[in-house]
Amino acid sequence: MHPAEDKKETIDLLQLAKADFKCVCGRRHKTDIREIIIAEDLLRPLESLARQQGICQAAGPADSPAILMVADDLTWQAAGKKISSALHASGLPVAVCCFPADPPLVPD
């Protein structure tokens, strides 16, 4: 058995995703990620989370919150289009920002 296999590590993805640091550009950068959901059927928990956050109607006031989906072309084709359509059908407002897959995005 490999030494790493005999002990299990739990990683808190939400804590890992929360960034708060002073950058070389002189500014402070921070993320405010509240939830990370990993599921086979993502639609049901997404609808529930959206409603908990007060995102209720596509026809709400102009300043009402909306869901912003960010993807590249490959992710959009694999799952984004289906999820966006289902959220629209549920009456939830969705805005999409889709990046081209080529050249590949490099997070930095």
More confident residue, 82 or 62: 82
| 36 in any annotated domain | yes
| 90 in any annotated domain | yes
| 59 in any annotated domain | yes
| 108 in any annotated domain | no
Q: Is the pLDDT of residue 3 over 60?
A: no
Q: What H or E segment, with its residue span, contains residue 28?
A: strand 28-30
| 91 in any annotated domain | yes
Distances (CA, A) of 98 to 41, 60, 61, 82: 22, 24, 25, 14
pLDDT at 96: 92
Q: What H or E segment, with its residue span, contains residue 98?
A: strand 94-99
| 23 in any annotated domain | yes
Q: What H or E segment, with its residue span, contains residue 81?
A: helix 81-89
Q: Which domain holds residue 22?
A: 3-99
**21-32: pLDDT as tens digits:** 888 899 998 887
Predicted TM-score of the model (pTM):
0.61
**Number of structural domains the chain divides into:** 1
**32-67: pLDDT as tens digits:** 787 788 878 888 888 888 888 777 765 555 666 678
